[in-house]
Chain A
Amino acid sequence: AQSVTQLGSHVSVSEGALVLLRCNYSSSVPPYLFWYVQYPNQGLQLLLKYTSAATLVKGINGFEAEFKKSETSFHLTKPSAHMSDAAEYFCAVDLFGRQNFVFGPGTRLSVLP
Chain B
Amino acid sequence: DTGVSQNPRHKITKRGQNVTFRCDPISEHNRLYWYRQTLGQGPEFLTYFQNEAQLEKSRLLSDRFSAERPKGSFSTLEIQRTEQGDSAMYLCASSHPLGEVGYTFGSGTRLTVV
Contact = CB atoms under 8 A, between A and B. Distances in A.
A46 interface: yes
B45 interface: yes
Interface in A19-50: 32, 34, 36, 41-46, 49
A90 B40 CA distance: 11
B56 A99 contact: yes
A67 interface: no
Nearest to A4: B42
Most buried by B among A34, A41, A105: A41
A100 interface: yes
B91 A43 contact: yes
Contacts, number: 59
A38 to B, nearest CB: 9
Q: How large is the interface on A (under 10, 10 to 19, 20 to 34, 35 or more residues)?
A: 20 to 34
Interface string A46-82: 1001010000000000000000000000000000000
Interface string B18-42: 0000000000000101000000111
Nearest to A108: B40
A99 B55 contact: yes
Contact of B102 (A4, A41, A49): A49
A4 B44 CA distance: 12
A100 B91 CA distance: 13
B12 to A, nearest CB: 14
Interface string B38-77: 0011111100101000011010000000000000000000
Contacts of B91: 43-44
Most buried by B among A36, A51, A100: A100
B45 A100 contact: yes
Give 8 nearest A-B pairs by CB, closest first: A103-B42, A100-B45, A43-B105, A43-B107, A44-B105, A43-B108, A99-B48, A51-B101
16 contacts: A32-B101, A34-B102, A42-B107, A43-B4, A43-B6, A43-B91, A44-B105, A92-B42, A99-B33, A99-B50, A99-B56, A100-B48, A101-B45, A105-B40, A106-B40, A106-B42
